[in-house]
Amino acid sequence: MIEAPIALLFGLLIGSFLNVCIHRWPRNRSVVKPRSHCVRCRKPIAWYDNIPLVSYLVLGGRCRRCGAKISARYPLVEFLTGMLFFYQVGTLGPTVAALKMCVFCAIAVALIFCDLEKRILPDEFTLGGMVLGLIFAGLVPVPDITAQALLWIAGAELPAWARSIAESALGATLPAFFLWFGGWLYFKIRHREGLGLGDVKLVAMVGSFLGLRGALLTLILGSISGSVIGYGYIKPTGKDPASYELPFGTFLGVAALLAAILGNQLLPT
């Protein structure tokens, strides 16, 4: 199927643009101007030095002008995005459902690295992604029946597209509320912040795309992995658990990708 390799190439290009967003949005900079440049010498990057994956390998991971090392994050984001696009289109075919999941994967990848590098989850990805999830819900059914059951109990009859949007809205609001409430309760008990509002928005974005079950699975997987890996890192490095800022959004983002890819296998039907 030719569509999957085309999706791979398109994903590499999207990954290149995501790298710009990952670097600039957490710093409140425009992704339009100025054009791509070396962060060390500030010289513009020529188009032939900006080809996804290829340019990094040709240049040996260094700027052509000043020789500064280029972060491995750049080819990694491009590769991950390309492979995720390849998988989604290869699995779902050239469909709107595949487009929806490609958009979701791109947002998740960007949020993973934004939080890992700057501990910031830009609203452009979280809130903007949530809006996109709600829009896609009117085109592609959200894999959940919770809102539909509540509507049935209330005696409300809605068309299929409206039920799907209701599933998306419920998936966005309910898990995000529980996460926010947990953070609020932690603050009241410990008198210090234990959760960023960006994490709440991230979960809302996930729920708008994957529905209630997908968001809850993301929360469970992200919380378990964050606790285990975070403790495994903090303990041997001697960092203070009370003050170390764990990139929880990174763990949630990875969990969201797993929920999107393996959700049907991990969740009971």
Convert the pLDDT of each residue in 143-157 to its tens digit.
888 888 888 898 888
- Verify that 86 and 176 share a domain, yes or no: no
Indicate whether 125 and 241 sit together in one domain.
Answer: yes
The tens digit of pLDDT for each residue in 6-27 reads 999 999 999 999 999 999 999 9
What per-residue confidence (pLDDT) applies to 268?
54
Are residue 248 and residue 165 in the same domain, yes or no? yes
User: Per the domain annotation, does 115 fall within a domain?
Assistant: no
Q: What is the pLDDT of residue 238?
A: 65
- Whole-angstrom distance, CA of residue 269 vs CA of residue 68: 51
Task: Mark whether 30 and 126 lie in a shared domain.
Answer: no
Tell me, yes or no, whether 151 and 241 share the same domain. Answer: yes
60 & 149 share domain: no
Same domain, 244 and 130: yes
d(CA 90, CA 58): 29
Q: How many domains is the chain built from?
A: 2
Domain that holds residue 133: 121-269
Residue 215: half-sphere exposure toward Cβ, Cα within 13 Å? 32
How high is the mean pLDDT of the chain?
91
Task: Name the β-bridge partners of 44.
Answer: 37
The neighbour count for residue 166, using CB atoms within 10 Å, is: 20
- pLDDT of 70 over the 90 cut: yes
Angstrom CA distances, 146 to 156, 225, 269, stand at 14, 27, 13
Q: Are residues 30 and 152 in the same domain?
A: no
Q: Do 208 and 126 share a structural domain?
A: yes
Among 94, 109, 131, residue at a domain's last position: 94
DSSP line for 27-80: GT--SSSS--B-TTT-PBPPGGG-STTHHHHHHTTB-TTT-PBPPTHHHHHHHH
- What pLDDT does residue 242 have? 60
**Residues 265, 149 share a domain:** yes
Q: What band does 116 get if pLDDT is binned at 50, 70 and 90?
A: very high
